[in-house]
Chain A
Amino acid sequence: MRARVFNFVNGITLIGVGAVLLDFFFTGRLDQYLHPQFRYWTLLAGVIFCVAGVVYAAGKTTSQCCIDGECVHQSANSPVRSLVAFLVLFVPLAAGVALSKDSYDQHAVLNRGFVQDITKLPSRSGSLPAPTPNDQVIPPQALGADMDERASEPLPQDTPSSPPDPNAVAKGGTGQANPAVPSSDDNGSQYLPKAADGNVALEVTDLLYAEAEDSLRKMFTDKTIEVIGQYLPGSDAKQFKLVRMFIVCCAADARPLAVPVEVSGPMTATEMGWVKVVGKPIFTQQGDRAHVVLKADKVESTDPPAEAMLY
């Protein structure tokens, strides 16, 4: 009877673990924790945990749990094992459902340190085409297209499968192979994603990418842009950092990306709260690198974006 009870406890533990995974998946909270490629593994694992837990709890109890009669499990029918499993496996996960705020505070951000060179981040390194004087190709990733396809469609010349337009030269008369590619005059600004109020909507990553890419700097300079990120107070009231977290697999490996922001007057925002900054990016050359500062005209609190993490 006692073995039966602890068999049941083990089953409940497994079902509980599965239920927590499924809860985080279906409430969308999992999106804050994992890269998209891992989320469906968690869903699948949640289902398997629930099924396995039912099979385990309902199964008949034998003196040894292993099928070949050579049980290797430490104290398989021990009540201590079952209770420890419940306390270590299920309780922390269940506590996470109730207590986790699904984000880091500023201590974690400061402890990790900010990424200095965004082009070295995975999925971005190697995707940046070699810059040329007349390069007008905007890397889709540089405009957050990897986050939101509508944000920035790749230019037609990025698509090798697109057949070249034989009449392009005749139509355009400029010698460009594809008329959809902007001329060197307009800096491709018509391809920049726009917010509802007409400002150019960028990500923190776009501005950091522009530090390494001259064509992007030209494109962003003198534009009124709006950027969403988390507020991290600066050394005085007139400056702060606009932070986004970049993850490879899960939030445990998150690395902070930040753009310094200067405001004209004092402002209030909660630490690591989400804010929308409207202003103009200023690029200054320091040695062989450009550095960006966002001069803010307006800073206001906003809702977190659908994907709080960048990938």
Chain B
Amino acid sequence: MTWFTFTWQNFLFSFLALAFEGLPFVLVGSLISGAIAAFVPSKMITGILPKNGVLATLASGLLGLCFPVCECGIVPVVRRLMNKGLPVSCGVTFMLASPIVNPIVALSTFAAFRGQSPWLNMGTRLVLGYLVAVVAGLAVRQLKPECILRTGAVKLPARKRLAFSISPLPDAAMNGFESTFSQKLVGAIRMACDDFIDTAIYFMIGAAVAATFNTAVDQQIILPLALEPTLSTISMMAIALILTLCSTSDAFIAATFVSFPIFARMAFMVFGPMFDLKLFFLYSVLFKKRFVIGLGIGLFVLIGLICSRFLIYVYAGQGL
């Protein structure tokens, strides 16, 4: 048997399964985005965050606790929040942290690791996800937004906002829409539809790539790598990149990779919700390709190092 065997039957089955599972969540994210655009004033967005940029970045990593959005739906929400005045560093932190640091993922991780130190694994995942997202957000603070954001993806007209300080946009006049509730509602639906179209195109491309890897590539070729700490961590992150699982359920998959050490599976659970094949295309809605690639490589290296060089000793100390 060769390492690559493509058939349309397998591709269609896997592709449709990903689409049926993911599209409702992209829709939810788009609806939230439309509602934010129509009903939430810019001052409210910026008002809930500390004025200090670093503190705001730290706080953004926790927004998912009260605002749980999975990775499929996060991009339109972040784009809308940025357009309402959320600094780019906070947006990136929220985008990376929210699929992990939220109550649904906490519960699913706990459930998936029943009998395998559930409290430790759930806590480690949330803390590590938060820390990595904050580090990425703080790194983004050092970059100019025009180097990061795709042209036209977010309007950042004010010089002050370009410098990442917290200041809301003035709410613009309703453009072609009256301000009654029903007309705002119609406007929210129309904007949600446009957000959905923008995002779902990339989601479908990502799902197609993932379905090809999922079904055509012999996944046994990765398993011999499980024996060495660094290689096992890299392998698990590579599997997460290819499988493009939803963060609400990927812990159940990670728990089954029992031949891999727990720190490698943790790398899978932290890296996967932050970056995979589908997210590569989704992030491209908002960010320049060069930044997306750099973000992916940075996350891969950072999470890989933390898990294979630090977490390995934490788990060893716990006898795992």
Contact = CB atoms under 8 A, between A and B. Distances in A.
Given A44-B24, A74-B152, A99-B8, A250 B17 contact: yes
A70 B18 contact: no
Contacts of B200: 85, 89
Interface string B154-191: 11000000000000010111111100000010111111
A207 to B, nearest CB: 19
Interface stretch (A48-56, A188-196, A197-205, A273-281): A48-56
A34 interface: yes
Interface stretch (B54-62, B91-99, B124-132, B211-219): B211-219
Contact of B196 (A14, A69, A93): A14
A50 B20 CA distance: 15
Contacts of A38: 20-21, 24
Nearest to B115: A126
Contacts of B223: 113
Contact of A52 (B189, B198, B245, B258): B189
A112 interface: yes
Interface in A68-90: 68-70, 72-74, 76, 81, 84-85, 88-89
A252 B193 contact: no
Interface stretch (A57-65, A172-180, A227-235, A260-268): A57-65
Contacts of B21: 33-34, 38, 42, 249-250, 252
A214 interface: no
Contact of A107 (B10, B19, B24, B246): B10
A108 interface: yes
Contact of A110 (B1, B17, B176, B189): B1
A248 B27 contact: no
B288 to A, nearest CB: 13
A111 B9 CA distance: 14
B27 A45 contact: yes
Given A24-B20, A68-B174, A252 B153 contact: no
A18 B309 CA distance: 47
Contacts of B245: 249, 253
A111 B5 contact: yes
Chain B contact residues: helix, strand, loop or mixed:
helix
B12 A96 contact: yes
Interface residues of A, number: 72
A66 to B, nearest CB: 6
Given A62-B176, A67-B38, A67-B175, A72 B205 contact: no
B27 A120 contact: no
A67 B244 CA distance: 33
A104 B5 CA distance: 13
A48 B12 CA distance: 24
B152 A68 contact: no
Contact of A117 (B12, B204, B258): B258
Given A100-B16, A105-B10, A250-B21, A69 B1 contact: no
B253 interface: yes
A85 B198 CA distance: 8
Contact of B204 (A30, A89, A112, A251): A89
A27 interface: no
B77 interface: no
Given A70-B169, A73-B198, A250-B20, 5 more contacts: A59-B186, A59-B190, A65-B194, A70-B83, A107-B216
15 contacts: A34-B17, A38-B20, A41-B25, A52-B196, A59-B190, A63-B176, A65-B190, A66-B194, A70-B155, A73-B197, A76-B194, A84-B201, A85-B201, A111-B219, A253-B245
Interface of A: 10-11, 13-14, 17, 21, 24, 30, 33-34, 38, 41-42, 44-45, 48-49, 52-53, 55-56, 59-60, 62-70, 72-74, 76, 81, 84-85, 88-89, 92-93, 95-96, 99-105, 107-108, 110-113, 115, 117, 120-122, 125-126, 248-253, 255
